[in-house]
Structure 1
Amino acid sequence: MTTPQPNSTAPAPEAPQVSEAPPAPQAPDWWRDAVIYQVYPRSFADGNGDGMGDLPGIRSRLPYLRDLGVDAVWLSPFYASPQADAGYDVADYRAVDPMFGTLADAEGLITEAHRLGLRLIVDLVPNHCSDQHAWFRRALAEGPGSTARDRFHFRKGRGENGEQPPNDWESLFGGPAWTRVPDGEWYLHLFAPEQPDFNWDHPAVHDEFRSILRFWLDRGVDGFRVDVAHGLVKAPGLPDMGHTGEQLKLLGNQSLPFFDQDGVHAIYRTWRTVLDEYSGDRIAVAEAWTPTAERTARYLRPDELHQAFNFHYLGTGWDATALREAIDASLDAMRPVGAPTTWVLSNHDVVRHRTRLGGDLARARAATLLMLALPGSAYLYQGEELGLPEVTDLPDEVRQDPSFFRDTGQDGLRDGCRVPLPWAGEEQPYGFGSGGSWLPQPADWAPLTVQAQTGDPASTLELYRTALHLRRTHPGLGAGDAVEWLDAPDGILSFRRPGGLVCTVNTTDAPVRLPAPGRPLLSSSSQLPVLDGDFILSPDTTIWWEE
């Protein structure tokens, strides 16, 4: 039931690299229904044959993303970094790490993306930096009492000789959130010790990040994904959290003294002012893990950020009742602030949704069509369009996730979703590059390559291409804030969108006979038996209908 779409995986022609990139073509409020594709740079495409993905490699594959049908590309960090946490430990926010290329490569990538009609969003990491950042190195060198230390959270320890951490906070990667330096003081790091947290009570931190925003906006980026957007402000006095011994999770919804403090909103109001200075509808997207959808909506008030990842939906299992509740709660929370709801199934921090939902490809395909039928904006993570599963059998010696090496922090599972993409061929590295791949790819991925799936109407890649084409052209898909739920048996979701589209989903393990609501547009399964005006909805299947 899918129709192959045009595709190209050939390198893009070289374009002149300039110091400033023009904004993408004007389209007011483009972000309200955009499909945004996350590129994890080290795992997308290798342009120089060193086994590591890079900016030239990404640029060479932009035509593939254009033909896939996405509206924008989000790049995970490519800044200068010691790579203690895969680039989320930034040493210089205005420089490109040599492993990924040069600043000229970044400018050329922005220009080429815009030439192809794609917008480009870059990661911004404001909660913490690298311990090799010039500010932190100066703070260590100048010692206790220096003004340089005020830009971070340095404290004296507890105990008779200050030998205990200042409070009981735990790192999200496992172990204490404090590290002691040789002069006896401790510094806060919610993540790895190589990632000291900024002190956002200091005016210099505010000034620096507004400058960083302008640096990349001047080069034409269309927005920012804000890493740990809920973590910048800590509770006054850094009070104990009353730790119970349970491992903290970034992906959880605990109420914590270092997450989702009300003071973060004043920061984002100043950022919105900066974004609004630029033409082209530039945006900011919050990675904000909050206890409720209503708390998430606070980041999206009209004078703050534009979008926030819908982690409440991402964490919902394959259950019709739970999915309906999550959808309703998400839409209800966003209406009062006038923000679009976002939908996401996978990213670089969680187990790929094919595996997380049970390992069955049919279920993963059905979950995708459900997500893309919902009103608002959708995020795709590289490789999900190929139906890639989580790689669960990586040898310990190749793993690089810092949480893997620190007790049970974040379960140490993030490497499994970061294995480089398979592009073509029968053997590793499957066209990723000429020099192998920094994480080994499974030996059975040849049928999952872009080359193998292109033109096969039954493939997951062609399902995504067709779905994204329909989403862009059908009046019943895309922007909006409402769904009309239709009567359906237990385990079945059925809803109507304004514009004449109906979506039906079978989350059960048995086929169900239902009346056909119209003409079938697209099915996640190739089977659609019709009997006397009814149809058989197979298990783990989603169908789009046109009334």
Structure 2
Amino acid sequence: MSLDRGTNMTGLARMDLAAATATRWWRDAVIYQVYVRSFADGNGDGIGDLLGVRSRLRYLADLGVDAIWLTPFFTSPMADFGYDVADYRNVDPIFGSLADAKALIDDAHRHGLRVIVDVVPNHTSDRHAWFHEAVAAGPGSAARERYIFRPGKGADGELPPNDWESVFGGPAWTRLPDGEWYLRLFASEQPDLNWENPEVRAEFESILRFWLDLGVDGFRIDVAHGMIKAEGLPDVGHADQVRMIGTDTTPFFDQDGVHEIHRAWRTLLDSYPGERIGVAEAWAPTAQRLANYIRPDELHQAFNFQLLVAPWDAVGFRAVIQESLETAGMVGASSTWVLSNHDVKRHLTRYGGGELGLRRSRAAVLLTLSLPGSSYIYQGEELGLPEVLDLPEEFLRDPQRLRNPDHGRDGCRVPIPWADVRPHFGFSLPGIEESWLPMPSSWGPLSVQSQLHDPASTLHLYREALRIRRRRQAFGDTPLVWLDSPEGTLAFGRGDDFVCTVNLTGEPVELPAPGRVLLASTAPATAGDAEPIAEGDLVRLAPDSAVWWERDDA
């Protein structure tokens, strides 16, 4: 489907838009995702909290990121670890208090860090006051109009209202004792809201204002593609619907009506000073459909998951990068780059694990950090953390495992190690024996403390890459220019003085050096191992490596 608004800009209009947005912080920001439960435990109960995040702000500032994104810390029974919200204006006691949230926001600003919080508008918890009221009020009540209730099919209404399936497996409907069914596209504890109801829209505008007034710099919008359902709730017509998400049209995701909501939210965000932003977690069947979410009057960013799911292959990577840049450029937006998050297996493991996965993951971050747009870092990737694949069964609590035991997300949510001190490596306070998920006994050398003393560590690579990125004129909105390079490699320039090369093969590859080495995931070598490398020298790029070069004639 072609874009129907904002995509037919003239060349002059695009230039004006580019000029107007070139200095906006979010267009090339590096944003660090904090999965609050697993970042740092400040009160000693084995669960990460806001006090723990606050205690590590200096680390994040020294790392060199521009903003932090906090996963939900609102009041919740934790059926889906905070993505089932019972009170959007308060903090769950597990994570602290509202005063802790305010202190964290203020402290982050003093450290030069902006704060983005997760908002969950598609559904609430079944323990939200609205849902309690809806259940008590009964069929046909105004309280039930806030959610999506329907009578069932069959002689006695014993069958679900349609064939929709939950993202977590099974029917997307749960029946109440009074016979009515409610829609819940995720867990049964997460009833979907009815966004056709003006009361729902007004409530969320109030929720956004509450947190904006508290000082947050923006929102990551969970399931931003899901609030509007097709009229009449028609059947899909076949099973295994989760495979359609992001690849095909469904009646419950990416309906055109969601854009009216996002336009209203953009107006609200723009009414506050300081460039507050909205970031869509949106899955759409085409790049063009995804671009709808970031048109000039809608949200500022949308997560681009295409590189995350791309195989380790130069042709595939280049195609994804090119399409992503072109699609975002159609609407005057900047692209985003994501390698891992709290919902997917860590990319070091996806790239093969062990030394192979580490080499590739180090190369991948230099690639993404040198691309035009904004980059997201998932906590612990700067330490080279792998997916934990052998968690004991009694610790596996992710509701997504109901769909497929192999697709649980617990392994990427294990707490991160701060010091080489067992059993929880500085994640919690001394004397605490267990963290909410157990940490591998081998993680001591991967801890922040250990890597700070090792100039060859992955942590040092990230810190240096972010330092260079921040000071270079070539980044920002400077376009990417592809350069010729050997098969299995990528090479591109940014501005007059910067080149990135990536060898995605398992063998050394020779090419003329485009300049002096600025930074390398694995150092290249000259034919005679002469140092330093000068522009024009024939060099060998190490297997699965990336190099940043500064041109001599800059």
- TM-score scaled to structure 1, two decimals? 0.93
- Counterpart in the other structure of 2:230: 235
Contact 2:105 2:115 in 1 (8 A): yes
Q: Secondary structure at the match of 2:525?
A: coil
Q: Distance between the aligned counterparts of 2:207 and 2:457, measured in 1?
A: 42
Q: Distance between the aligned counterparts of 1:272 and 1:200, measured in 2?
A: 17
Equivalent in 524, 529, 532 of residue 526 of structure 2: 529
Equivalent in 97, 101, 119 of residue 106 of structure 1: 101
Letter in 1 for 2:440: P
Equivalent in 51, 69, 76 of residue 81 of structure 1: 76
- Counterpart in the other structure of 1:408: 404
1:174/1:92 Cα in 2 relative to 1: closer, same or farther (>3 Å)?
same
Output one character per residue of 1:108-157: Cα deviation in whole Å (capped at 9) or x when no partner: 00000000100000000000010000111100000001011011110000
Contact 2:245 2:284 in 1 (8 A): no
Letter in 2 for 1:214: R
Equivalent in 377, 380, 389 of residue 380 of structure 1: 377
Moved more, 35-44 or 426-435: 426-435
1:449/1:396 Cα in 2 relative to 1: closer, same or farther (>3 Å)?
same
Kindly indicate whether residue 548 of structure 2 is the aligned counterpart of residue 544 of structure 1: yes
Q: Distance between the aligned counterparts of 1:44 and 1:442, measured in 2?
A: 15
Q: Distance between the aligned counterparts of 2:390 and 2:241, measured in 1?
A: 23
1:530/1:62 Cα in 2 relative to 1: closer, same or farther (>3 Å)?
farther
Q: Which runs of 5+ in 1 are unaligned?
A: 1-26
Deviation for aligned residue 1:470: 0.4
Q: Secondary structure at the match of 1:522?
A: strand
Percent identity for Structure 1 against Structure 2: 64
- Counterpart in the other structure of 2:260: 266
Q: Secondary structure at the match of 1:273?
A: helix
Kindly indicate whether residue 219 of structure 2 is the aligned counterpart of residue 224 of structure 1: yes
Q: Distance between the aligned counterparts of 1:479 and 1:225, measured in 2?
A: 22
Contact 1:471 1:478 in 2 (8 A): no
Deviation for aligned residue 1:90: 0.1
Deviation for aligned residue 1:500: 1.5
Alignment of 1:496-507 (within 5 A): 496-507=493-504
- Counterpart in the other structure of 1:516: 513
Letter in 2 for 1:312: Q
Q: Secondary structure at the match of 1:296?
A: helix
Q: Secondary structure at the match of 2:143?
A: helix
Output one character per residue of 1:68-103: Cα deviation in whole Å (capped at 9) or x when no partner: 000000000000000000000000000000000000
Kindly indicate whether residue 33 of structure 2 is the aligned counterpart of residue 38 of structure 1: yes
Contact 2:523 2:541 in 1 (8 A): no
Q: Distance between the aligned counterparts of 1:241 and 1:94, measured in 2?
A: 36
Letter in 1 for 2:84: D
- Counterpart in the other structure of 1:476: 474
Q: Distance between the aligned counterparts of 2:352 and 2:57, measured in 1?
A: 31
- Counterpart in the other structure of 2:392: 395
Deviation for aligned residue 1:527: 4.5
- Counterpart in the other structure of 2:6: none
Deviation for aligned residue 1:413: 2.1
Alignment of 1:39-438 (within 5 A): 39-244=34-239, 246=240, 248-249=242-243, 252-359=246-353, 360-404=357-401, 406-408=402-404, 411-434=406-429, 435=432, 436-438=434-436
Contact 1:40 1:418 in 2 (8 A): yes
Deviation for aligned residue 1:408: 2.0
Contact 1:293 1:312 in 2 (8 A): no
Moved more, 529-538 or 466-475: 529-538
Q: Secondary structure at the match of 1:218?
A: helix
Contact 2:42 2:49 in 1 (8 A): yes
Q: Distance between the aligned counterparts of 1:486 and 1:469, measured in 2?
A: 25
- Counterpart in the other structure of 2:463: 465
Contact 2:523 2:547 in 1 (8 A): no
- TM-score scaled to structure 2, two decimals? 0.92
- Counterpart in the other structure of 2:15: none
Kindly indicate whether residue 492 of structure 2 is the aligned counterpart of residue 488 of structure 1: no
Letter in 1 for 2:255: Q
Q: Distance between the aligned counterparts of 2:420 and 2:336, measured in 1?
A: 35
Contact 1:174 1:247 in 2 (8 A): no
Contact 1:377 1:479 in 2 (8 A): no
Q: Distance between the aligned counterparts of 2:178 and 2:238, measured in 1?
A: 27
Q: Which runs of 5+ in 2 are unaligned?
A: 1-21, 529-535
Contact 2:287 2:327 in 1 (8 A): yes
Contact 1:35 1:379 in 2 (8 A): yes
Q: Distance between the aligned counterparts of 1:34 and 1:87, measured in 2?
A: 26
Deviation for aligned residue 1:477: 2.5
Contact 1:486 1:494 in 2 (8 A): yes
Deviation for aligned residue 1:251: 6.4
Q: Distance between the aligned counterparts of 1:28 and 1:128, measured in 2?
A: 35
- Counterpart in the other structure of 1:16: none
Q: Distance between the aligned counterparts of 1:94 and 1:357, measured in 2?
A: 40
Q: CA RMSD in A?
A: 1.3
Q: Distance between the aligned counterparts of 1:479 and 1:398, measured in 2?
A: 44
Q: Secondary structure at the match of 2:437?
A: coil
**Higher RCO structure, 1 or 2 (CA under 8 Å, sep 6+):** 1
Q: Secondary structure at the match of 2:171?
A: coil
Deviation for aligned residue 1:478: 3.4
Kindly indicate whether residue 441 of structure 2 is the aligned counterpart of residue 447 of structure 1: no
